[in-house]
Amino acid sequence: MSSIDNEGMLISSKVELRRFPAIEQGDLRSVRALVVHQTDAPTAQHTFNSYRNKGNGAHFLIEKDGAIYQTASMKKRCYHVGRLLRSKCEAVDKSTCDAAQMKVIESLTWKLQFRALDRYERTKNYPERYPMNADSLGIELVGKHLDETHYEKVTAMQNQSLQWLVAELYGHFSLTSKDVYTHPQISYKHLGEAGSAVWQ
């Protein structure tokens, strides 16, 4: 069993703490969901190097051999979800979308639709919409982006560590497996990112 210290770090013999303040972007007030990513880098070290500079990042990083690093405090927000959210009602069950709103949005040009959908989604509360940077933790798995629809396969050791990590986080934040998403599910990203991750 793990614990979380005052700094928002997960204390366990299974987690190595490597905090990078440069990727922390203000306070994260609530954790409602977990978002699984792949780094598009060959090793954890490549990601550590990029985390020395201010920019995008996530809270955890799992190396191909299953080693788990915590790279940001769980009390701090990281930029790991893209700027434009996808519509959850549209993906899950379109009949649950507000028909009048959707009609207005669909009358826009293709490009404007993405922005309008994002704006509309942000008026909702989780879980009616997908998670955002402001209410989720990001978990990166080391793995290269191969082509339009594929990333390297998540290793068995990574999936084993991911399962342990999400189980601990379910307990700490009262989440279930329904609160875990892959990056391309929730925002416009290369398909296939974290596609072979298994967490249940």
The residues that touch Zn ion, with contacts defined as CB under 5 A, are 37, 183
Q: With respect to Zn ion, which residue has the nearer C-beta, 24 or 193? A: 193
Q: Is 12 exposed, middle or buried (0-12, 13-18, 19+ CB in 10 A)?
A: middle
- Two tokens, residue 17: 């703490």
Nearest distance from residue 187's CB to Zn ion, in Å?
8
Q: With respect to Zn ion, which residue has the nearer C-beta, 44 or 116? A: 44
Q: With respect to Zn ion, which residue has the nearer C-beta, 2 or 64? A: 64
* Phi and psi at residue 130, to the nearest 5°: -75, 160
- CA R_g for the chain: 17
Nearest distance from residue 101's CB to Zn ion, in Å?
28
Give SS3 for 39. coil
Nearest distance from residue 136's CB to Zn ion, in Å?
12
Q: Which residues 6+ apart lie within 8 Å of 97 measured at CB?
A: 87, 89, 90
Nearest distance from residue 95's CB to Zn ion, in Å?
29
Q: Residues 108, 118: contact at Cβ < 8 Å?
A: no
Nearest distance from residue 183's CB to Zn ion, in Å?
3
Q: With respect to Zn ion, which residue has the nearer C-beta, 31 or 81? A: 81
Q: With respect to Zn ion, which residue has the nearer C-beta, 116 or 154? A: 154
CA distance 18 to 34: 19
